[in-house]
Amino acid sequence: MSGSIRRQFKVCLIGDGYVGKTSIRRTYLKEGFKRSYIPTLGVDFAQKSLLFEGSPTNLVIWDIAGQVAFQNLRRRYYEGSSGLILVYAVDDRKSFDSASKWLVEAHGFMSKLPPLMIVANKIDLRSTLRQVDVVTTEEGKAFAESVAQKLGTQAVFIETSAKIDKNIDETFEALTRMMIEATHQSITSFPASHKIETSEQESAASVSSQPTSPTPQTSFTPEPVEGSDLRDIDPVTLLSSDSGYLEEEEIGQAMTELQSLRSELKAAEEELANTLAKLETDMLTLKNTVHVKRIMFEHLKQQLKTTREEWAAAYEEHQALEKRRKDEFARRNMQIASIRKKIDQIGARIRSRIGDLDMRKMSE
């Protein structure tokens, strides 16, 4: 098994809600297209391991929610991105009009945009809608050209359908190629995973370096056979393949055991490589989960701080309002008591006057 380096790239899917970002990701990962839609909760991510042009490559795909409610979280989700896939739906002109806003947001968070795919999704719906209601291919191409010129980044336009699996693999293949080219051109790239190297030649050399005891029948110092091809020399005994010594039963048994050990070594190396790749994938998933949870925790902590401040301000306002209510209640009570006192005084005068009038009438 020859030595190899596993490349790794972080890809962010961005765009308005309901344009098909999650369906594109699911179709690419062969998870199947879902007709029922559940809005992505903040962010979701998945991994795709593949051989790209003969080299092991790992794509970490972040599906970023398009809903406004998650806007404050998105800044952290862009960090470390090697490529972007901006998606709009051809049956939703509003999502096309919002595409430039997404790029402005990404550019503001990242300063310089990485390689970009501009994806016009849901082309399977074009035949069911009026021409005036859909975003045309020409509009999408013009937008991609404008983005490349104004923002100074690689931008490739493609039309897709997650429902019928049209140009989904091609989208990720084109982006992967651009990300590899960008990595070669610049030192700053998404960190690659650790290097896994194995070599049959090194393994064989390590076996041949172990001392061997001469057989009871013969004891000799092997010498290269004159005129023999080096490719016909056994790497362990250093004997020519047609040497009579190889016919010795003991050497034959040793060679058989050696071949068996070589097969076991190769199987062990492959098992180790597969185990390391699986552990690497599991570790990356856990790392991304912890990263997202930390971002959400920090966001919730900030929300809690803001809520506490708002609660304190509301409590102070409530206390002030309660004091005003009590003061107003006391003032109104005093005013009412004063009015009642005046009423009683006037009533007493009226009753006294009536009494005087009654006494006068009686005296007459």
Positions of the chain with pLDDT under 50: 1-3, 187-228
85 and 175 in contact (C-beta within 8 Å)?
yes
Phi, psi of 211 (to 5 degrees): -70, 145
Q: What is the pLDDT of residues 80-114, one digit of tens each?
A: 899 999 999 999 999 999 999 999 999 988 888 99
pLDDT at residue number 276: 78
In the chain, where are the structural domains located? 7-194, 200-209+227-272, 273-364
Give whole-number Cα distances, 253 to 246, 250, 258, 260, in Å. Answer: 10, 5, 8, 11
Residue 296 has a pLDDT of 75
Residue of 91, 112, 119, 86 lying closest to 101 (CA atoms)? 86
- pLDDT at residue 192, as a whole number: 41
* CA 182/CA 33 separation, integer angstroms: 32
Q: Which CATH class is domain 7-194?
A: alpha beta
pLDDT for 213 equals: 41
pLDDT at 84: 96
pTM metric for this prediction: 0.57
- Which pLDDT does position 210 carry in this prediction? 43
* Per-residue pLDDT at 201: 40
Q: What is the pLDDT of residue 233?
A: 60
